[in-house]
């Protein structure tokens, strides 16, 4: 039995969840699905210009794993750009770098970093010590974002 995949640390969710070529009817579009960790790898390496070692450290994964994720993302992006396919950003095996928790007793909210959550989830409120705490929902999708698959065609 294979061991479970390690969660990848993603700084934030993108404000846009899909891109499509102009002039091609939606019904005729094929699409590629880019995971959130693939998008994060492209952001760190290509947009921020960090070295692979630094990118891997930020995502809390090994450098070879980072390279595989980045290579997969670049192939999908090239396929979409060259062949006129839609890009859907969805899913993956990730956790946000910061996650908010809320105490249902006193309403206190606080951030718990990825490193702390990876070791142990909080069990009580840091203010009142109540164990009646809940993670706050992930931020809502921004303008133009939808949950789930929107485009026809196979995934790659």
pLDDT digits 0-9 by tens, 3-25: 777 788 888 888 888 999 998 88
Same domain, 69 and 90: yes
Residue with token string 């909080």: 122
Domain-embedded: residue 49: yes
Question: What pLDDT digit, counting tens, does each position of 59-94 carry?
Answer: 989 999 999 999 999 999 999 999 999 999 998 888
Same domain, 18 and 73: yes
| Nearest alpha-carbon partner for 108 in 66, 85, 139, 136 | 136
Same domain, 60 and 88: yes
Residue 50: burial class (beta carbons within 10 Å; 0-12, 13-18, 19+): middle
In the chain, the number of structural domains is 2
Domain-embedded: residue 41: yes
Rg of the chain (C-alpha set): 18
Asked whether residue 146 carries a pLDDT value surpassing 50, the answer given is: no
**Extended beta strands in the chain, E state:** 8-10, 18-19, 31-34, 86-89, 94-96, 98-103, 109-113, 133-135
Residue with token string 């980072």: 66
Question: What pLDDT digit, counting tens, does each position of 21-63 carry?
Answer: 998 888 889 999 999 999 999 999 999 999 999 999 999 899 9
pLDDT in the model for residue 150: 32
pLDDT in the model for residue 138: 57
pLDDT in the model for residue 15: 83
Domain that holds residue 55: 8-96
How far apart (Å, rounded) are the C-alpha atoms in residues 3 and 108? 36
How far apart (Å, rounded) are the C-alpha atoms in residues 2 and 50? 32
| Nearest alpha-carbon partner for 23 in 86, 94, 110, 103 | 86
How far apart (Å, rounded) are the C-alpha atoms in residues 71 and 41? 9
pLDDT in the model for residue 140: 44
């Amino acid at each position: 039995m294979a061991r479970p995949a390690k969660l990848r640390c993603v700084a934030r969710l993108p404000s846009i969840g899909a891109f499509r070529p102009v002039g091609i009817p939606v019904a005729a579009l094929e699409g590629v699905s880019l995971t959130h960790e693939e998008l994060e790898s492209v952001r760190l390496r290509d947009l921020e210009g960090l070295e692979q070692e630094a990118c891997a450290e930020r995502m809390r994964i090994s450098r070879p794993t980072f390279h595989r994720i980045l290579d997969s993302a670049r192939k999908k992006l090239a396929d979409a750009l060259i062949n006129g396919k839609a890009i859907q950003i969805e899913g993956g095996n990730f956790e946000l770098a910061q996650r908010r928790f809320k105490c249902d007793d006193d309403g206190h909210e606080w951030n718990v970093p990825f490193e702390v959550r990876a070791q142990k989830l909080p069990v009580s409120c840091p203010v009142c010590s109540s164990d009646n705490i809940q993670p706050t929902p992930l931020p809502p999708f921004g303008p133009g974002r939808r949950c789930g698959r929107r485009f026809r065609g196979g995934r790659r």
